[in-house]
A and B are shown apart, each in its own frame.
Chain A
Amino acid sequence: MVAVSDPILEVDGVEKYFGGITALDGASFDVESGITGLIGPNGAGKSTMFDCITGFRDPDGGSVWFRGEDVTGDSPSAVANRGVVRTFQIPHELPEMTVRENLALAPRDQRGESLVASWARGDGYYEDEQRAQRRAVEAAERFEISHVLDTPAGELSGGQRKLLELARALLTEPDLVLLDEPLAGVNPTLEERILDHIQTLAAEGYSFLFIEHDIDVIMEHCQEVIVMHQGRVLMRGEPEAVRTDDRVVDAYLGGDAE
């Protein structure tokens, strides 16, 4: 029982300063398996927190632990290889590469990714690449971008880029997926499908930490919610508790929530 409730990600007093701006002011929280929401007003430090967790920025203080190991200051690829993958708030598609190539890039530990293997093409090279290609096609189908498989990613619409980014992240078979506003700009039907998909994956054992501004989505899909405000964690709790918390209503939800 202890193992189950152990947090997979622990953020301990992380600080980040940009010149005079305090983006993260000693934020601490734990993430357990399942789906966790991260909410907070614009500029609260949510994206910066993602950067500090995934190694894209070195925190100026505090530490980050994944599955009991200190990953503070590790390179992004090292963090990713431990099983933490992230998406970006502004999609980072690879514009001159096709959607197919964007996706086929993602699976980890492909044999043909080493320089010598790309020359020698020995055992497993073709099988591995076939697998990567097949998975790329499957992912594209699941996220409804298979009709643009051979289009350069730079020609996709904003929503399609979001989908590509999500599909690509999931192809790395991560333990924990950090999604930075994955639903922004996606149409409602597709939004439902993505959320269903996240639910299915969560049931399969993937964990999610996702930033979202739509409180209804958070209420419906998250087991836990973390609220950030001015670089700190305002509170962490179950969705219902968060929604009715006075501090959260004041800082973020305003009059819209009952």
Chain B
Amino acid sequence: MALADFLVSLLTVVSVYTLFGLGLNIKYGFTGLVDFGHVLYFMTGAYVTVVVTLPVAATSYEGIGGFALPQLLSGVPLGGLLAWFVAIFVAMVVAALLSLLVGVPTLRLREDYLAITALGIATILHTVVNDERWLFNGPFGVRDVHQPLAEAFPVSLGSFLVNLAVFGLVSVLVLAYIGYRVGDYVYGVDLRAAAMAAAAAVLVVAGLGAAALGGALVLGGVLVAVAGVVVLARGIGRADGFGRPLALFTALVFVAWHFGTPFFTAGPSGVLASAVWLFDPTAGADGGFTYGRFVLLVAVSFVAVAYWWCERTVNSPYGRVLRSIREDEDVPEALGKRTFRYKVQSMMFGSALAAAAGGLWATHIAFIDPTQFIADITFFAFTAVIIGGAANNRGVVVGTAVFWTLHTGTRFLNDYFPTEYATQLAALRVMLIGVLLMVILYYRSEGLLGEQTYDTGVAAEEGGRSE
């Protein structure tokens, strides 16, 4: 698999879980509801989306449905896509209603009980889905996941060169835009912090590179990489701005990884392939734009809309009430706000977002079964939200990216160790994330970005801004 494909798949996963995390952040970050059963709505979203769009009597499927919506809408232009959107919408509504059912009894409980009860309910329903084949085919999962427009891919614009030029240009523009935004943010970082971030990046990259060569270099390389992280930590400790050196470090590591690795494995053509990452030269006769890349764009669009939606929700008097509930529920109650209603709505909104994420997940992965919806997914999202900074929508994006990059990106380590260590390595990688979480909580308990600021949309002269 080319590096670009890995990147596309990683970004898709990050997008899906960002959407999932945005929903959790509404509940936990802004309202203070510790919903340890958040994955329930992700699972609901995935299954509902899949079953609504599943053909009737799909092979080796013995559950409810399918309801064959794409076939029903086959007369309509873009009917398959429309059916998919309808299915996602239905999934969001079903998840919201389910969370209403779960929320009405549990939201009256004290918050620690809420966490336990929500976890319990989610676990029970997960077990039911796993054990009852008549429901959604149980442990055998669901194949034949409807992938809207899949038949149109890979998209080719005519010739290899045209494809390369057009998709390549878009790819480069996207990279350039991201580079510009990062550069703009990093601009103004003090020199010493920048130097330390750069040195740290070089050490980490060189260390990991040496480790990747295998043999006796593995241990030394890993040690050098660790030294890089220590340098970075010191650099961050010195700088007053925390995010800037970190962003610079991340950008440098990314560039080294994204362009350096292919250079060493495939030479200049590898670098080119990484630069035009939206273009897949191996797709079809002339190369082109693959379905996986299309799903990524859809996922990113979903995240953009959800992000905007969440921002609008929390930057309002409504969001203010949510936060007051998080801080001390007695206060809004004493002031006449019906806090129970707000908590139920927060659950429903957050769950609907989780369901949309579930639908996207199913489309991306093309096969769902209960193992994808274990409680770990909830705790991964909590970890990501806390790493990025609870009650910060941007923090969810950052935290999720950090989490899944570490979780997935460290998988390559498996290649350099004997296969009998695979299980231990998998556990070690999760431990690594645990260590990161502890380091962050110790040095910066509010997460990388901390709580966001709010603006209800009333101009500053009117006194509407709060920093």
- Across-interface contacts of A119 in B (CB, < 8 A): 309, 312-313
Contact status A96-B327, CB under 8 Å: yes
- Across-interface contacts of A95 in B (CB, < 8 A): 327
Q: A129 CA to B462 CA in the complex, in Å?
A: 10
CB distance from A75 to the nearest CB of B (A): 7
Interface pick from A35-43, A101-109, A181-189, A223-231: A101-109
Q: A250 CA to B356 CA in the complex, in Å?
A: 68
- Across-interface contacts of B333 in A (CB, < 8 A): 56, 75-77, 80
Which of chain A's residues 129-143 have a Cβ closer than 8 Å to chain B? Answer: 129-130, 132-134, 136-137
- Across-interface contacts of B334 in A (CB, < 8 A): 54, 56, 76-77, 80, 85-86, 88, 92, 169
B112 beta carbon closer than 8 Å to chain A: no
Q: A92 CA to B334 CA in the complex, in Å?
A: 10
CB distance from A14 to the nearest CB of B (A): 19
Contact bitstring A49-63, B, C-beta under 8 A = 1, else 0? 000001010000000
Contact status A105-B321, CB under 8 Å: yes
CB distance from A118 to the nearest CB of B (A): 4
Contact status A118-B466, CB under 8 Å: no
Contact status B313-A118, CB under 8 Å: yes
CB distance from A1 to the nearest CB of B (A): 32
Contact status A118-B337, CB under 8 Å: no
Q: A219 CA to B145 CA in the complex, in Å?
A: 78
- Across-interface contacts of A106 in B (CB, < 8 A): 335
Contact status B312-A110, CB under 8 Å: no
Q: A110 CA to B342 CA in the complex, in Å?
A: 14
A97 beta carbon closer than 8 Å to chain B: yes
B454 beta carbon closer than 8 Å to chain A: yes
CB nearest neighbor in A for B318: A118
- Across-interface contacts of B120 in A (CB, < 8 A): none
CB nearest neighbor in B for A109: B336
Contact status A108-B313, CB under 8 Å: no
Contact status A77-B466, CB under 8 Å: no
- Across-interface contacts of B318 in A (CB, < 8 A): 112-115, 117-118
Contact status B462-A134, CB under 8 Å: yes
A150 beta carbon closer than 8 Å to chain B: yes
CB nearest neighbor in B for A178: B334
Contact status B330-A56, CB under 8 Å: yes
- Chain B interface main SS type: helix
B434 beta carbon closer than 8 Å to chain A: no
Count of inter-chain pairs, beta carbons less than 8 A:
128
- Across-interface contacts of B319 in A (CB, < 8 A): 118
* Contacting residue for B464 out of A76, A86, A130, CB 8 A: A130
Given the contacts A118-B318, A129-B457, A130-B458, A75 and B338 also touching, CB distance less than 8 Å: yes
- Chain A interface main SS type: helix
B324 beta carbon closer than 8 Å to chain A: yes
Place the interface of chain A in its size category: 35 or more
Contact status A118-B336, CB under 8 Å: no
A126 beta carbon closer than 8 Å to chain B: yes
Contact bitstring A157-170, B, C-beta under 8 A = 1, else 0? 00000000000110
* Contacting residue for A77 out of B339, B451, B463, B467, CB 8 A: B339
CB nearest neighbor in A for B325: A94
A121 beta carbon closer than 8 Å to chain B: yes
Contact status A130-B462, CB under 8 Å: yes
A172 beta carbon closer than 8 Å to chain B: yes
Contact status B317-A132, CB under 8 Å: yes
Q: A92 CA to B456 CA in the complex, in Å?
A: 23
A98 beta carbon closer than 8 Å to chain B: yes
- Across-interface contacts of B339 in A (CB, < 8 A): 77
Given the contacts A114-B318, A118-B313, A150-B466, A97 and B335 also touching, CB distance less than 8 Å: no
Contact status B321-A133, CB under 8 Å: no
Interface centre among B318, B335, B456, B458 (most CB of A within 10 A): B335
Contact status B324-A118, CB under 8 Å: no
B405 beta carbon closer than 8 Å to chain A: no
B332 beta carbon closer than 8 Å to chain A: yes
CB nearest neighbor in B for A132: B317
CB distance from A214 to the nearest CB of B (A): 24
Contact status A112-B463, CB under 8 Å: no
B316 beta carbon closer than 8 Å to chain A: yes
A199 beta carbon closer than 8 Å to chain B: no
Given the contacts A80-B335, A101-B454, A119-B313, A113 and B321 also touching, CB distance less than 8 Å: yes
Contact status B327-A118, CB under 8 Å: no
* Contacting residue for B323 out of A94, A118, A137, CB 8 A: A94
CB nearest neighbor in A for B327: A94
A28 beta carbon closer than 8 Å to chain B: no
- Across-interface contacts of A115 in B (CB, < 8 A): 313, 318, 345, 349
B328 beta carbon closer than 8 Å to chain A: yes
Q: A86 CA to B334 CA in the complex, in Å?
A: 7
Which of chain B's residues 414-467 have a Cβ closer than 8 Å to chain A? Answer: 451, 454, 456-458, 462-464, 466-467
Contact status B323-A104, CB under 8 Å: no
A100 beta carbon closer than 8 Å to chain B: yes
- Across-interface contacts of B324 in A (CB, < 8 A): 94, 97, 105
A81 beta carbon closer than 8 Å to chain B: yes
Contact status A77-B457, CB under 8 Å: no
Q: A56 CA to B321 CA in the complex, in Å?
A: 19
Which of chain A's residues 61-92 have a Cβ closer than 8 Å to chain B? Answer: 75-77, 80-81, 85-86, 88, 92
CB distance from B323 to the nearest CB of A (A): 6
Query: Can you list 22 residue pairs at the A/B interface with Cβ under 8 Å?
Result: A56-B333, A85-B334, A85-B336, A86-B334, A92-B330, A104-B456, A106-B335, A108-B335, A112-B317, A121-B457, A125-B457, A129-B456, A129-B457, A129-B458, A130-B464, A132-B317, A133-B462, A134-B462, A134-B463, A137-B463, A149-B463, A150-B466
Binding site for A on B (CB under 8 A): 309, 312-313, 316-321, 323-324, 327-328, 330-340, 345, 349, 451, 454, 456-458, 462-464, 466-467
Known interface pairs A77-B339, A129-B457; 9 further A-B residue pairs with C-beta atoms within 8 A, sorted by A's residue number:
A56-B334, A77-B337, A92-B331, A94-B327, A97-B324, A98-B467, A101-B454, A104-B320, A115-B349
Closest 5 CB pairs of A and B: A112-B317, A80-B336, A118-B316, A118-B318, A94-B327
